[in-house]
Structure 1
Amino acid sequence: MNFPERFANLPVATWPRLRGLLDSVPPGGDVINMTIGEPQHAFPKFVTDTVMDALPDLNKYPNNNGIPELLEAMAGFLNRRYGVTIPTDRIMALNGTREGLYNALMAICPETKGGAKPNVLVPNPFYQVYAVAALSVAATPVYVPATKETGHLPDFAGLDGKTLDQTAVVYICSPANPQGAVADHDYWKNLFELAVKHDFVVFADECYSEVYRDTPPIGALEVAEEVGLNPERLIVFHSLSKRSNLAGMRSGFCVAGPEPIARIRSLRAYAGAPLPGPFQAVAAKVWADDTHVAESRALYQEKYAVADEVLGDLPGYMSPVAGFFLWLPVKDGETAALKLWSETGVRVLPGAYLSHGEGAYNPGKSYIRVALVAPKEDVRQGLIKLKSCLYG
């Protein structure tokens, strides 16, 4: 059976592509994996006991939308972090935000806009789920460069009016993966003005919001409340994966206006899988606790300092203000990643594997992404080897 024609331009999955590049070549030293953004810090100690206490719930079907305690904890997080009060009936518990980022588009993207196929705007580089979701609903993904010239955030306002008028949904990630750039107040305000003018919905992926250097990144919800944005025009996504080092637990949530959240919940009744009951009980306690988040963030701040110390004198080095990736300029990302692996055993990700386009038109081609998730001394050794191999 062939894929539908709309999947002809499906992006090649990042990790099989990386394995194809590196795995046939022996590492040139002790392996230090700096590719995947899988947090390695300890998760809260109370998680294990809470899981054990909640295991009897495995004989019950999990609540599709999220148990009341979980939704209340999520609303409490939003209030503490952003100063907004969101009713729990506008929050949907997710089995990881990847599910939500995909299924929310399935639930709300129209089949046509103005009598033609709708556009879905995607930052470039991007999290690949954005593009795959657009193709799945037979929309046209429009890749908007997020480069040094645009502050590593997509310049949606620079698009022509026809493209924007045909747009149904805009994906935006802040803090950005992979560059660590943060959308400020004016960026959000301007984006919301475009949403109103051109009649589209903003999908704000804020999964890295709790990993930052100094200042907590401003959130879409607080700016939306300030400017009086219709809540139907914004869906915001959050996750415990990065915030609490619980990538395997798959606890995330989305916040939306009454109509979008109703559509997302309706789709979940037929497709997708709710978070298992024991994990919902655990997640409620984790979302309600901020102490472990601050402790984990302090460890990332130490690794920011290591990166600045080792790489700060390199031309083009950009010290991230948030997130846990370095976006390092090289001549060619694939060549650099293969050289680094074969000569040192340090494993990084070519930037082109996160971007759309051919040759010079791929905004990630001349970068590598380096994850700062390993223990601090492993990060230090990896960056020292990286610098000597690629920039020495």
Structure 2
Amino acid sequence: MSTVRLPDFPWDALAPARARAAEHPDGVVDLSIGTPVDPTPPLLGDALAAAGDAPGYPTALGTADVRRAAAGWLSRRLGVQLADPFGADPSVIPTVGSKELVALLPTLLGLQGSGTVVLPEVAYPTYEVGAVVAGLQVLRTDTPPAHPGDAVLVWLNSPGNPHGRVLTDDELRAWVAWGRAHGVPVVADECYIELGWDVVPRSVLHPDVAGADHTGLLAVHSLSKQSTAAGYRAGLLSGDPALVRRAWEVRRHLGLLVPTPVQAAMAAALADDAHVAVQRERYRRRRDRLAAAVRASGARVDHSEAGLYLWVSRDEDCWTTIDWLAGRGIVAAPGSFYGPAGSRHVRMALTATDERIDAAVERLMKDPPAPRRSQAHGGPLQGGR
């Protein structure tokens, strides 16, 4: 029996930079991992506690409340009209966050064994992990291939992690047409879709993109960032009812169940837009301050029109930039973690407290210390978002 060989898990490669940054007299500003730090809104905790008496097993299908709230949120916020979420083939189900879904989706759809998963040039590494776990190959491209080859799945990510790039309607429609022409499911990871800054991101399920129905299309959403609820592990899969049903059938066999109290919290969060607006404004203020300081330091911010990160370049190897930042007590994520095309960028997260963002701004505005050469570093990242 062959053993799955996963890519390296290289966060340890940042250890020298973290050690250097820790020498700063005012401590480290860690902008490397996009982990929310602001309080979870009380409405989620209240709903969670009210549903705490949950002696029975939850269902993989999800409660009526959470499916109704999800369909309402998709319609209200994204202009997406689902097929009947209560039909025999459901059009939306809850998931245990989005990362496990991304990692398992090729397997859940029965695609394992042979074929190629198409993913962006610069991409969230768990897309590749999911392909490897299913025994599939990977092709990185930002445009539909001239020939489908043995493609079995396409991943889109808009707004993108790490670079915050938003696909245009024309780009989305091109992928939808390509996938349908070749019978290849197209899945859009839209976990940052509520966080548009310079543009309004569009869902692949929107009728201007998908047309009259969602055949061959899926979308992945998460409450981790928009509701500061990463610890709840609350996500959604929606779209083509035939594909959703296929994933749901396997998930219930595997026991991939969102706890009933978490589903109650999800329903409350998806029905409320106010807390999302408050959090989005927090991130906007941090983004504006940090981006201005990055530019004042002589670096460049590319893309970053949406999402939780700044995609920063000094037109040098990303590890040289990591050392330059570490000399100021700042830790970022090397762009090479996200694919070879990211090797001249670093990702700086907005998920730090206002005090730490202000500290980073102050340090970036000062004259840079002399850069120091890094030790050798590892391969693609397989960690959290």
Partner of 1:338: 323
Please say if 1:127 is aligned against 2:124.
yes
Percentage of identical aligned residues? 26
Worse-superposed segment, 44-53 or 313-322: 313-322
How far does the alpha carbon of each residue in 1:183-218 deviate from its partner, in whole angstroms, 9 at most, with x for none? Answer: 111111111111122221111000000112154311
Matched, 1:389 2:368: yes
Aligned position for 2:264:
281
Separation in structure 1 between the aligned mates of residue 131 and residue 208 of structure 2, nearest angstrom: 24
- Report if the CA contact (8 A) 2:290-2:360 is conserved: no
Aligned counterparts of 1:312 and 1:335: Cα–Cα separation in 2: 17
Q: C-alpha deviations, 1:39-69, integer Å up to 9, x for none? A: 2233222222222221111x22112221110
Local SS of the residue matching 1:135: helix
Q: Please, which runs of 5 or more residues in structure 2 have no aligned partner?
A: 372-385
Residue 293 of structure 2 contacts residue 364 of structure 2 at CA under 8 Å; is this kept in 1? no
Q: Is contact 1:213-1:304 (8 Å) kept?
A: no
1:181 offset after TM fit, Å?
Answer: 0.7
- State the match for 2:235 in structure 1: 252
More helix by share: 1
1:38/1:198 CA distance change after superposition, 3 Å: same
- Residue 37 of structure 2 corresponds to which residue in structure 1? 40
Shift in CA distance, 381/24, structure 1 to aligned 2, threshold 3 Å: closer
- Which one-letter code corresponds to 1:80 in the other structure? R
2:101 aligned with 1:100: yes
Gaps of 5+ in 1: 145-153, 356-361
Q: Does 1:347 align with 2:343?
A: no
Structure 1 Cα separation of the partners of residues 170 and 72 of structure 2: 26
Shift of 1:298: 1.1
Which residue among 366, 374, 379 is the counterpart of 2:344? Answer: 366
Look up the match of 1:307: 290
Give the structure-1-normalised TM-score. Answer: 0.85
- Which one of the candidate residues 51, 54, 58 is aligned to 2:51? 54
Matched-pair contact (CA < 8 Å) for 1:201–1:233: yes
CA distance in 2 between partners of 1:209 and 1:26 (Å): 32
Q: In 2 relative to 1, CA 390–119 (structure 1 residues): closer, same or farther, beyond 3 Å?
A: farther
Q: Hey, what does 1:358 align to over in structure 2?
A: none
Deviates more, 1:24-33 or 1:290-299: 24-33
Take 1:246 and 1:178, find their aligned partners in 2: how far apart are those partners?
A: 20
| 8 Å CA contact 2:20, 2:329 repeated in 1 | no
Q: Distance in 2 between matches of 1:135 and 1:369?
A: 25
Give the counterpart of 1:317 among 301, 315, 336.
301
Q: 2:305 aligns to what SS in structure 1?
A: coil
- Cα RMSD for the two superposed structures: 2.3
1:65-80 pair list within 5 angstroms: 65-80=61-76
Distance in 2 separating the partners of 1:138 and 1:243 = 33
Aligned residues: 361
TM-score in terms of structure 2 length: 0.87
